[in-house]
Structure 1
C-alpha cells in the first residue's frame, strides 16, 4: 500500500466504529461468527486463506484486508486491553500502516500488517489466532 491509500483510512478514534460497521456489512451477507472472540480469529485466518486461494490480487481486496485487520485489532482492544493509537511518522514508516494498537505494557502492534502478512505468505505461521495467543504485552490470568 502506498501513502496515498492511507489518507482515506480511519484514524485511531474512528477504528472502533469502522470495525463495527465492517463486521455488520460482512455478517449481513454471510453467517460468519465474527463475535470479537479470540476463537473468531480462526475465521479471519480462514477468510484470508480463501481470498488468497481464490486468486485475489492484494489491490482488489485491500479494503477487505483493512477491515479484517481492523477486526483483529478490535479483538486485541476488547480481549487483551489494547487501545487504538495513531502511529507517529517513524512507527508508520516501520509498520507500513498509520494506525495500530498499544498493549497495557506499552508495546505497540500492527494487526493490519499481520493480516497483510497472512495474505501475502499464506503461511500457517502467520495465523492471526496464534498471533493473539503468543502476543507479548497482553494481561495473563492470575494463577490461584
Structure 2
C-alpha cells in the first residue's frame, strides 16, 4: 500500500510531501529551499545531479515526485495555484495523477516538468524559467 501511495499521490498530500522533502533535503545541507521562485534553481540543480549521477528513472521516481511536490507548492504559495487531482483526460495527457490549477483556471503539471528536466537537462526545461514564464499567475499572493 505504501508503494501505491508513492506512485499515486493525491492533491491533499502534496503540501505535506513538499514539506517532508524540504525537511529531508535541508537536514544536513544548507539548501535555500524557501518556496521562492529563486529556490527553483536548486530544484534544477538537484534534478541535474540525479541525471548526471546516473539515477535510474524508476528508482528515482520518489525523489522526482518530491521535487515536483516542491515545485507545485511554490506555485501554490507564490502564484495562487491550488493542488487538484487530475481527471481521466488530464491523467492521460500529463501522465500524473495531480496537478495545480492557476487562478485563471489553467492546469499545469509540475511533476511532469521535473521529470522533463531530469530526462533532458535542457535549459528550456528549467523549473525557474517554468515559473517565470507561467501563464495565469496571481499578481500578488500572500506567502
Q: TM-score w.r.t. structure 2 length?
A: 0.91
Q: Equivalent residue for 1:124?
A: 123
Q: Equivalent residue for 1:29?
A: 28
Measure the CA separation in 1 of the matches of 2:129 and 2:17. 24
Measure the CA separation in 2 of the matches of 1:119 and 1:73. 16
Displacement of 1:9 in angstroms is 3.2
Displacement of 1:5 in angstroms is 5.6
Are 1:73 and 1:111, in contact at CA under 8 Å, matched by a contact in 2? yes
Q: Equivalent residue for 1:105?
A: 104
Are 2:9 and 2:97, in contact at CA under 8 Å, matched by a contact in 1? no
Change in CA separation of 1:82 and 1:119 when aligned onto 2, cut-off 3 Å: same
Which consecutive residues of structure 1, in runs of 5 or more, have no partner in the other structure? none
Are 2:6 and 2:62, in contact at CA under 8 Å, matched by a contact in 1? no
1:50-77 Cα offsets, whole Å, 9 max, x none, are 1111111111211111000000000000
1:73-105 Cα offsets, whole Å, 9 max, x none, are 000000000000000011001100000100000
Aligned length: 138
